[in-house]
Amino acid sequence: MNKEFSRARIKKDKNFDGKFLFGVKTTGIFCRPSCPSPVAKEENVTYFNTIFEAIEKGLRPCFRCRPDVDVEYYNGNISGVSVVNNALERIYDGYLNYHSIQDLAKELLLSDRHLRKLFVDNLGVPPIKIARHHKSLFAKKLLLFSDQSITDIAFASGFGSIRQFNTVFKTVFGKTPTG
C-alpha cells in the first residue's frame, strides 16, 4: 500500500486525491497526493486515510493544496456508520454549537461514551474534535470567500467569543485568522 501511495505522491497523481493523505514529519503539514509543494523524502512521510488521523497526530493542513477544504468524510467501519453519519449531519448543522455531546448522544439513543467510541472506530477521532475542525473550516471558507469582518465570521461559525475563535483556529490551522 505504501509503495502505491508513494508513487502517487511523487507523481502528484490527482486520481489518488480523496484516497489518502500524507504528512511530512519535518514540516508538521499534511497534504493531498496532488499537492504542488516540493516532493518530500519518503523517510519523512507518513500516510493517512482521513484528515482526522493527520490532525490527531498533530499535523496541520497545507495552505497550498488545502486538503481540509472540499473533503468527503469516509466511514471505514460498517458498524455504527448510520449513527455516525446521522451525528455528523447534526454536527455540520451546528448542533454542538448550542448542545453538548451528551445531548447529541441522548437524541441518538446512545450513551456519550458509546457515541465517542463509534466516532473513534469510524473516523479515528471523537465528535468534539470533528465539530471543532468543522467550525474552523467553515470560518476559513468565510475568510477566503467573503468580505465579512473577523468578528462576524467568528460568531457565524459558532464560536462563543473572538478569543475562542482565535485559539481554536490557530490550533487547527497553525496560524491566526488574520495570519
List the CATH number of the domain containing 13. 3.40.10.10
How many distinct structural domains can be found in the chain? 2
Q: What is the pLDDT of residues 4-47, one digit of tens each?
A: 999 999 999 888 888 899 999 999 999 999 999 999 999 999 99
Catalytic site residue from 35, 54, 91, 139: 35
84, 132: one domain: yes
46, 103: one domain: no
Residue 62 designated active-site: yes
Q: Is 20 within a domain?
A: yes
Residue 30 designated active-site: no
Structural domain of 17: 2-61
**E strands present in the chain:** 21-24, 29-31, 45-48, 60-61
- Average of per-residue pLDDT across 139-164: 92
**Model pTM score:** 0.58
24, 55: one domain: yes
Q: Is 69 within a domain?
A: no
Q: Categorise residue 144: left if φ over 0, alpha if ψ from -120 to 50, beta otherwise.
A: alpha
Q: Is the pLDDT of residue 77 over 70?
A: no
165, 85: one domain: yes
Q: Is 67 within a domain?
A: no
Residue 123 designated active-site: no
Q: What is the pLDDT of residues 61-75, one digit of tens each?
A: 999 888 987 555 444
- Single out the residue in 31, 61, 91 at which a domain terminates: 61
Q: Is 40 within a domain?
A: yes
Contact 61, 137 (CB under 8 A): no
Contact 80, 107 (CB under 8 A): no
Catalytic site residue from 8, 21, 24, 31: 31
88, 139: one domain: yes
